[in-house]
Structures are given as C-alpha cells and as structure tokens.
A and B are shown apart, each in its own frame.
Chain A
Amino acid sequence: MSEKPATDRRTLLKLAGFGVGMAATPFAAAQESHGGHAMPAPAAASTAGAAPSPGYIFLNPDEAAFVEAFVDTLIPQDEFTPKGTDLGVAIFVDRQLYSGWGNGDRMYLQGPFQEGTPEQGYQLKFTPNQLVRIGIADVNDQVRAAHGGNTFDTLEEGDRITLVTALEQAKVELPSVPTRAFFNTLFQLVMDGFFADPIYGGNRGKASWKMIGYPGVGEMYADKIAEWRNRPYRVDEPLSIQDMM
C-alpha cells in the first residue's frame, strides 16, 4: 500500500496566504490576523462532512423526486461510494439552481433568440434553472404517457437507466427544450455535486476525493513533487475548504 504523509503546519500556513516570499508569520499571529477564519488544527478534519441543512429551496417535491432519482441513476451505490443522494448531490443541485448562476446572473440573455448553428453554442432564452425545471416537466410528461402514469422517479432502475441513456444520446425529443441542452446541464450539475468541495453541500465526507485518491485542497507539493515521483501519494483524510474554515 501507499505511504501516507501528514499535512504539516508549514503547508497549512502557506495556504492561509503566508507562503514563503511573503511576510513570515507565526501560526498564532496568522490566526489572529484572520479573525474568525483561522486555520484549524488538522484534527478539525474529522468533523467534516456534517450533513448540510436538509430540505429543498428551489425544487418543488415533484422536481426534487426527479432530481434524486436522476442523481442516483448517475451515481449508484457501489463498492466505491454511497449513492449520490446520500452524498448531498441532490441538495447541491437544488442550491446551485437557486443561486445567481442558476438564475443566469452572468449570462447574456438579451434577444432576439434564434437557434443558430451547432458552432454558435447555447442560444436558448432560458436561465439554467428554467431549463432544468422545464426539462424535468417535459421528461415526466413523456414518462407518464409511456409508462401508465408513472413519473421518472417511480420507474424501475432498469427503465431509469434506459431513459437516461436515451436522453444522453438525444434519442428522446422533448417538446419545450432541446434534449441535449437539458441533459448536459443537469448532467454537469450532478457531476459537479459529486466532485465539488463539500462546502457546497455535495461530495459529503469527500467521498469522491477519497474514491479516486485526491488529497484535497490543503496540500502543497513544492517539496514533494520530486520525492513522490512515480509513487502514489495518498492521505487518509483529504482536506476540503469546509474542513479548514
């Protein structure tokens, strides 16, 4: 098995913005100057991954059920991680849809709107949260028609996989939104919820980071890159932003 180096104090100090080449600051002083944002003792990491506040803000119950089923279809429980909803990924999706980004705050949303060529990128008038909301309703309408009144979340696992595959390949045409745009947006959100820092509500317990062997965002490698060349560098507990708050 791989050796497991510990994150040392020098590493943490550097991350706080007091790297070599800047003012050398004792650890206590660093805590002082950062007020409530002091660097934690490494032991604080063990409290990480506490469940984010439950409950949905943007999604209504039907939409939340859809998103939960979608998340667990993309990220099923297996030997590597629990299923996506247990990692907070559905909560992540909800919070992102409710955010400024979900509302298209930095997008160009002036008309006129027209379809454009494949080389012209996204040309819909929808913000990301409108696109996802409308797409969910479209998909559920189709499922109801094809599956005797069921919605996506009540389908058997095999049927869910079949449908998600069809959406990914744009073999299903949706009435209100282009299938590819809807699928890609929700797919990317779910992936981001699996991999982003737990501070955003997903990737609970840093499950995806532990799965692939990512040591977290608290590591510095200037004195390690040569030493660990072609040897697996692993840590027991990757540090997230949330761990260091």
Chain B
Amino acid sequence: MAAMKLPAVDVVIVGSGWTGGIVAKELAPTGLKVVMFERGRPQDTVPDFAGPQAHDSLKYSRRLHMVQDLSQETITFRNSMDQVALPIRQHGFYWPGTNVGGSGAHWSGLTWRWSEWEHKMRSGTIAKYGAGIIPEDMNLQDWPISYDELEPYYDRFEKVCGISGKAGNIRGRKQPGGNPFEAPRRNEYPLPPMTPSHVMTLFDKATANLGYHPFPIPTANCSGDYVNPDGIALGQCHYCGHCTAFGCEANAKASPHFLMLPLARNNPNFQLRTNATVVKINLDSDGKRATGVTYVDARGREIEQPADLVVLGAFVTGNVHLMLHSGIDKPYDPKTNSGVIGRNYAFQGGGGARMLLDKDTYTNPFMGSGALGSWIDDVNGDNYDFAKAGYIGGGGISIGSNSGDPLTYHPTMPGQPRWGKGWKKAMVDAYHHVAGISHQGAVMSYRQNYFDLDPTYRDAFGRPLLRLTFDWQPNEQKLMTAHSAICQRIAEEITGRKEGGAGMPRSFGRFNSGFYQTTHNTGGVVFGDDPKTSALNKYCQSWDVPNLFVLGSCVFPQNAGRNPTGPVGALAFWAADAITKKYLKRPGALV
C-alpha cells in the first residue's frame, strides 16, 4: 500500500512530547537507530518562544497555535450510544498539543504524584467500603503497579523538571507546610515552592480556618535557577502569566523540547522527522508483531518505516486512534463490556466559585504562572468517607494565579453587563479584585464511556475519525455539586459575606464538548494485570503485540482529581527502564 519503503530502523517513536521524549533520551546510550515522528512543526525556545511575540495571547490562547490542527485530525463526539456522533469542528473541551514538545510545551506545569489509593482505586475502595459501593456500570480497575514501585520514577521526573514544592511526607515523616495526605516520598522537592500570590495567602488562611490543610501546588515552573541531573539549566520563572497554551521563553517551564530532545540527539543514530504524521502501525500476517509504521510526510507522500520496536507517545486520542485503526488487539464493545481498545475513557470534572474582594484588596492578577496556586487535598483521593459522601473519587480544590492577560481575563461579576454602558465600569471594578476557587474532580470509568471508530467521518488522511461516547454519571454529578459548594463556602470565608461567593452557576447535567474545560483525558489503552480488561501489561507493553509499547495517560484505567503529567512522566521513565534493561536484552513479552 505504501508508495515508498525506507530501510528498517531499530525503534520508531510516535510523538515528540513527554513520553516519546523520555524514551528517546533513555535510549540514547544504546546507540540504536531511533526515528521519532512529530505531526507538527519543529519548535524550540529560541527562536519560537522568544519575546515579545511569545506573549501573543491572540495567537496562542485564542487561536491555539500550539494545539492540534483540526482540519487534519479530530474526533467525533456524542453523549450516549443512541446519538449520532458529530465532529469537534472547532477547538472544544480539550487542547491536545502539536509541534515539537507536544502538550508538554504548552502545559501549565502542575506536577503531582498520584496518591497511593489512586494507583489501586478498585482494591483500595473495596478494602475500605466493600464491593457494594461500586456502581454496577463502573469499570473500576487497579493499576498493575503500586505507588511504591513507581516512587523512584516520580523522583526522577521531579528532578529532571526542577519541580518546586513542599514535601508533606518524607519517608513516612509528616512535613509542616506540605500536603499531609501525600504518599511517602524519599526526597524533598528539588526546588522550594514558588512565591505565593496574594489570593493564595487569602485561600490558605480561609481553608485553615475551615479545618482544611492548604499547601503550595507542586509546579514545573521553577522557583529559582536550577540545573537538573542531566546538566540542563532551567531558568527562574518570571511570573509573567503566559504559560497555559504558550511556550516559555525562560526555560522555566519544564518541557521535553529542551529537557529531552537535546539528550536524545546525543545518539548519532537518532532522527526526528517533523511534519510527519504516523497514520498506521503495520502488523505481520498473524497480527502479533508490529513491522513498523506508515506515515505521511509534509508533501503528502505515504511512506513505510519498518522497525523492530514501536513506541506510541502521541496524545491520548492519537494513541487510541492508532491502536483501533491498526487493528491491534480487540476493540472494546460496551454491550458486552469486552474487548480492550477504547475501554475505560474518563475526563475530569470542574466547578467552582467566583468572588469579589474588597476594593482595597489588590490581586495583581497578571503576576502569576501556569501552576502557581494553593490547594487542599482534604476531599481528594480517598481522604474522606466515600460512604458518607455518597460518591467515589474526590477532587482537589484550589486557588490559582494563572494569568491576567486581558484578552482571556477581564472578569465581571454575575449580573453585570457584558457590553455597552456600565460594562467597562464593571470590569474596572473587578479586574484587580476578583478571585476564583476551583474544583478539579476525579472521573471514574464506565461501560458506556468509551472510544471506537466513527462510521461516517474521516480525517485528512482518509482514516475513520476516533469516536468518543461520554457523559457525566451520577457519581461525578454528585461530586461536582458537593465540591462546588465547598468552593462557595471557602469564598464566603474569604469575603466574610454569606452571599459573598456569587457562585458560578454551572450545570452538571449532560457533559458539553463545546467549550474548553481541561486537557486531562485518560484511558482507552489501559494497563493492568488481566489481558481481558487491559491492553497493556505493567510495563505499558501490548499484551497482543509485544514489540509495541504505549505511553501516556491513555494507560490510566480512570482519572483522578489531579493533573496527569506527574505519573505520565514517571511511567515513561519506568517503561523506558523496562525497554532498555529487560526488553532489548530479550525481546518478547515481559509478563
């Protein structure tokens, strides 16, 4: 089928983001022939993120120039199986990255270790509450790897990125100022926390008054200059408020484009091909071995690249799409709850409250960074009583100083005009005095929330689009409602007014794909201990095609109430270790 077939290489890596970058870097000492494919264009700190154009908010946060080109690839969406799925035509609920560095170049930088329970949601829940608490349609599954096994890799990822934070638990000893619910860590964070903004100090005081335990969010925005263990320098964050959807001109925001790719290039046999979209993983005749990939280059030519080992490091939707379109393993069937590719998709919940502070309180909203904020974990993970609450999963509640760029941030309070007379005064009154409390909620996986291939719509390469079927379920609706009320309560504690929260009215009815919420998608190619309910073993290696590894948050069996990049990075190091130390010595199934 391919017009041109290239000489074989040892390893093909699909995607130049965090996971692909980490594997390429870890493979560099082997000297193997490695080809990495990036669908987007080349980009680097200099010249692409050089000032002052790096702060062009129309280009980056409105026109989303670091986000995937939907004219080439998109997904279709529907809430339930009885609907006809339709394409996401304009950027909607999530922003998958494109160009070198992928989403890792335009992220905000909140970098968590997931809690112990978040690595064993099923057994951890049953041990405390019994199996009866799990709804029948909830496909709750454990990770095949425990927090303790992953801890050294979390540690590595944090050191590579120069994560700035305060430990709450070092080897079992609680640390004042950190997250008291944190799982034990071997080390303090590489850098101290960032300088708190004023709204953070308000949140810290109010939540402590209410009996919660606030702490600074661990950030991949460096609180100071830092040289990582690989010898790469990161700069101190400028607090310029242009992180989310932007590249960082100071290399203060950890990104694979400067932390991984220069080291991958130490391998003379490493090659990065940009503007090259991998459209299919090729299999041998019995479908049990990947023979390489087919990609389309910038000129539209279809080219076959044979390889001994294939590593998928695309965004969640890209990985799932490639697996389904290439016919790897069995597609998931929601009617019988069998098959594995497309199974256990989950999104993330939102909610919050906005408040107007006193006129003599100044927030300076433009002083901030993507991840600068305070957080409480008291109602996250399994840090509260599921049986009493009536839901599973929890969520983090926080205040942030993300950006004050007026293009995207010119708030008015509810009930004020949006234009015309009186509007400008409402904005002037609000800009320096408004703050918001946010909830980021876990979402469990369900039989009816899944990916498959769309029967109607095709991408620019002629492939069927990936189809997403997803809706909020009662567990998550209850959680979002309860946590929005907590946000409101905190807002009232800050303003001292009963009505002070002026809560953001938010419907938690059907999930709406039409507006941006978060990029934290999970599942579709999950890892596990049972090939009947997982596509990958504990090393993120395909059960069915052992010379194929799949990385990223598509391997998480359900979503948590925190950002995914920490475990995404840790698992990439874990899988890279398995590849270099085990697989390359004896290629074949590792489990």
Contacts and interface: CB of A to CB of B under 8 A. Distances in A.
Contacts of B366: 214-215, 219, 221
A28 interface: no
B195 A245 contact: no
A161 B239 contact: no
Given A116-B86, A229-B201, A121 B513 contact: yes
A74 B239 contact: no
Interface stretch (B51-59, B113-121, B382-390, B537-545): B51-59
A101 B418 CA distance: 24
A228 B201 CA distance: 13
Given A15-B52, A105-B71, A233-B364, A187 B406 contact: no
B175 to A, nearest CB: 22
Contact of A101 (B63, B77, B361): B63
A230 interface: yes
Contacts of B49: 17
Contacts of B74: 108
B548 to A, nearest CB: 28
Nearest to A84: B419
A108 B70 contact: yes
A78 B427 CA distance: 14
A241 B512 contact: no
Interface in A198-245: 199-200, 208-209, 211-215, 217-222, 224-226, 228-233, 239-241, 244-245
Contacts of A22: 233, 235, 250-251
A151 to B, nearest CB: 20
A209 B424 CA distance: 12
A118 B513 CA distance: 9
A76 B239 CA distance: 34
Contacts of B323: none
A121 B92 contact: yes
Interface string A15-49: 11101111000000000001001000000000000
Contacts of B78: 117, 120
Nearest to B92: A121
A214 B456 CA distance: 47
Interface residues of A, number: 73
A87 to B, nearest CB: 12
Contacts of A76: 420-421
A108 B198 contact: no
Contact of A16 (B50, B77, B410, B515): B50
B interface secondary structure, majority: loop
Nearest to B509: A119
Contact of A108 (B71, B239, B511): B71
A105 to B, nearest CB: 7
B198 A229 contact: yes
Contact of A232 (B233, B362, B410): B362
Given A16-B50, A233-B367, A217 B242 contact: yes
A191 B58 CA distance: 11
Given A15-B249, A200-B58, A244 B367 contact: no
Given A120-B77, A221-B367, A241 B53 contact: yes
B84 interface: yes
Contact of B407 (A80, A168, A192, A226): A192
Contact of A19 (B56, B79, B236, B420): B236
A153 interface: no
Contacts of A192: 58, 62, 407
B458 interface: yes
Contacts of B88: 108, 121
B476 to A, nearest CB: 15
Contact of A122 (B90, B225, B364, B368): B90
A84 to B, nearest CB: 10
Nearest to A40: B52
A186 to B, nearest CB: 11
A116 B83 CA distance: 9
A14 interface: yes
B87 interface: yes
A20 B235 contact: yes
Contact of B419 (A74, A104, A224, A240): A74
A80 B421 CA distance: 11
A224 B367 contact: yes
A228 B58 contact: no
Contact of A78 (B64, B70, B197, B424): B424
Nearest to A160: B420
A195 B90 CA distance: 22
Nearest to B74: A108
A136 B322 CA distance: 43
Contact of A225 (B69, B364, B432, B512): B364
B263 interface: no
Contact of B226 (A21, A101, A220, A231): A21
A227 B206 CA distance: 22
B234 to A, nearest CB: 6
A1 to B, nearest CB: 13
Given A15-B52, A108-B71, A114-B86, A197 B57 contact: yes
Interface in B359-412: 361-362, 364, 366-368, 404-407, 410
B271 interface: no
Given A106-B69, A219-B366, A211 B428 contact: yes
A195 B410 contact: yes
Contacts of A118: 512, 514
Contacts of A245: 52
Interface string B71-113: 1001001110001101111101000000000000000000000
Given A110-B87, A117-B83, A16 B57 contact: no
A239 B366 CA distance: 13
Contacts of A195: 406-407, 410
B457 interface: yes
B582 interface: no
A209 B406 CA distance: 7
Contacts of A225: 195, 197, 239, 364, 367-368
Contact of A107 (B71, B225, B406, B418): B71
15 contacts: A16-B50, A22-B251, A107-B71, A108-B89, A114-B86, A121-B512, A121-B513, A187-B418, A187-B419, A213-B431, A221-B238, A222-B236, A229-B364, A232-B432, A241-B56
Interface of A: 14-17, 19-22, 34, 37, 73-76, 78, 80-81, 101, 104-110, 112, 114, 116-123, 161, 164, 168, 187, 191-192, 195-197, 199-200, 208-209, 211-215, 217-222, 224-226, 228-233, 239-241, 244-245
Q: Kindly list the 8 A-B residue pairs having the minimum CB-CB distance in the complex, ordered from nearest.
A: A21-B235, A121-B514, A15-B51, A19-B250, A217-B55, A221-B239, A220-B238, A17-B50
Interface of B: 45-46, 49-58, 62-64, 69-71, 74, 77-79, 83-84, 86-90, 92, 195, 197-198, 201, 222, 225-226, 233-240, 242, 249-252, 361-362, 364, 366-368, 404-407, 410, 418-421, 424-425, 427-428, 431-432, 456-458, 510-515
